[in-house]
Structure 1
C-alpha cells in the first residue's frame, strides 16, 4: 500500500514538474533495477560524501537569523509530508511555515536568512531561491541556513506553484526593499550587484528562466541588480539552459524519479550555453535530497562552493570549477568517467582561468 501511495505521489509530482519571529541558530545507470521506493529512500540512508561535502558540507562561521517562523508541517499539505516520511523518502527533520496548504497563512510567502552578526559585516552577496512545485519554503530551511552561515543573505519565495519567474522576481524585489529599509537589519547590507538565482525542481526551472532575462530588464527592479550566477538543482523542464546569461551549475540526482537526469541532460546540460556552464549528477541523490539534513544532502557542499565562487570569487571554491584539473570532475559524490551523466562543462567554462 505504501508503495502504491508513493508511486501515485511520484507520478503526480513528475507531471507537475513538467510544466516573522527572528531565530538564531546555528558507472552506468543501474537505478532501473530498484523500485521507486528504494530509489527515493536510498539517499535517506547514505551520508553525503566527496571532496566538496567534506570541505563545505557543514555550517560555516556565522550563526544564522531568519524571519521565517518554522514548525511542524500541518494542514492538508502535511499529509504528503507524513506519507513520504513514513516510507523514508523524507527524513524527520523537515519543517514548514504556516503558508497554505501547510497552514492557514497566505500561499505567497517570502522569508530571509542571514548571518546574525550582519551589523558587523559589509555588504554580502544575495541568493534568490525558489523551491519546487507543491513545496513549502520551510522545507529547504536546512540548506538555506547552511548557505547563510557561509556569509550569504538568502531570500526564499514561494507561491506553492513556483514554476515561472514571478517568485524569483518577487525575491529580487524583496531584497531591494530590505536593502533600502532603514528599519531592517539588512539595511545597506545586500550587495544587489552580486545576486545568484537558485532553485529546486520547478524553482530550478524558474531559475533558468529568470537567469535568461536581460540585465537591463532586471535592473528595472533595482538599478544595481546584477545576476552573477545561476544554480538550478534538479530543474523542472519548462526551460532550456542555452538562453541563460550567467554562469550556471546544473545539478541532478541519479536516483531522481521525478525530474529524471536523462531529461535534464537532453536540453539543460549547458553545453550550448553562451555563458560558462557545468553539469553534475550526484550518485545517490533523489528528488528530495535538497530538503534533507545537511549530512544527507548530496548537493550541500558543491552548492556552497558554487555560491562562494560566484558570489565572492573565493580562490578555494574556484578550484572546483576552473582549471584543467577542476575538483568537481574528480569528486566521488558525482558520476564521473564514461558515465552518460558524468560531470561536464562547456567551452566557455573550459576557457576560464
Structure 2
C-alpha cells in the first residue's frame, strides 16, 4: 500500500512514477510464501486497491510451505537451491507449489552450491547492494520475457 500512496502523493519523489500495471510479488523463504499467497489473492482485487494495478507475476525464492500452487493465478518463477535443508528442492516447492501451478504458467530453477541462508552470498561474502539490485532487475527481465511482455509495456 505504501507504493500506491507514494504514487498518488504530489509531494513524493515517487509521484506518478510507479507503474502499478506491472506489479510483481517477490520474496525469499517466508516472504516467498507470502508472495505466492499474494499471487493467489491480489490479482482478483488489485483494481480495488488502485484502478491501474495489475498483478503480472510472482518470484518465489525458496518459499515456505504454507502456499499452494493450485491457487496462484499469475505466472510464477520458483527458485530453489540444491543444498537447502530448510526449504528442500525435492519437497513442497515441487510437490504442492510448482507441480500444482496450473492456473498460470510456472517455471522452476535450481541453484547449486548455496544453502537457504546464503542464497544472496558469493564466496562467503554478502552480495553488494548494487549486485543484488541488478539480480532483481534481471529476474524481472526474465519473467517479463517469459510472459512475452515488451519492455516498458503497460
Shorter-chain TM-score bucket reads: 0.7 to 0.9
Instruction: Give the Cα separation in 1 of the matches to 2:102 and 2:38.
Output: 15
Is 2:137 aligned against 1:304?
A: yes
Contact 1:249 1:306 in 2 (8 A): no
CA 1:240–1:195 in 2, change beyond 3 Å: closer, same or farther?
same
Where do residues 93-242 of structure 1 align in structure 2 (5 Å cutoff)?
173-242=1-70
Contact 2:46 2:53 in 1 (8 A): yes
Local SS of the residue matching 2:48: coil
Local SS of the residue matching 1:219: helix
Give the drift of 1:218. Answer: 2.2
Runs of 4+ in 1 over 4 A off after TM superposition: 299-303
Local SS of the residue matching 2:58: strand
Local SS of the residue matching 2:56: strand
CA 1:303–1:183 in 2, change beyond 3 Å: closer, same or farther?
closer
Is 2:79 aligned against 1:251?
A: yes
Contact 2:40 2:72 in 1 (8 A): yes
* Residue of structure 2 equivalent to 1:289: 118
Give the drift of 1:276. Answer: 0.9
Contact 1:270 1:278 in 2 (8 A): no
CA 1:304–1:273 in 2, change beyond 3 Å: closer, same or farther?
farther
Instruction: Give the Cα separation in 2 of the matches to 1:301 and 1:278.
Output: 21
Instruction: Give the Cα separation in 1 of the matches to 2:99 and 2:136.
Output: 17
CA 1:254–1:274 in 2, change beyond 3 Å: closer, same or farther?
same
Contact 2:83 2:114 in 1 (8 A): yes
Is 2:92 aligned against 1:266?
A: no
CA 1:180–1:214 in 2, change beyond 3 Å: closer, same or farther?
closer
Aligned length: 140
Instruction: Give the Cα separation in 2 of the matches to 1:204 and 1:300.
Output: 17
CA 1:253–1:300 in 2, change beyond 3 Å: closer, same or farther?
farther
- Structure 2 unaligned regions, length at least 5: 148-154
Instruction: Give the Cα separation in 2 of the matches to 1:287 and 1:240.
Output: 20
CA 1:244–1:302 in 2, change beyond 3 Å: closer, same or farther?
farther
Give the drift of 1:217. Answer: 1.5
* Residue of structure 2 equivalent to 1:148: none
Query: So what's the TM-score if we normalise by structure 1?
Result: 0.37
CA distances 1:141-165 after superposition (whole Å, capped 9, x unpaired): xxxxxxxxxxxxxxxxxxxxxxxxx
* Residue of structure 2 equivalent to 1:277: 106
CA 1:187–1:301 in 2, change beyond 3 Å: closer, same or farther?
closer
Instruction: Give the Cα separation in 2 of the matches to 1:234 and 1:280.
Output: 10
Give the drift of 1:182. Answer: 1.2
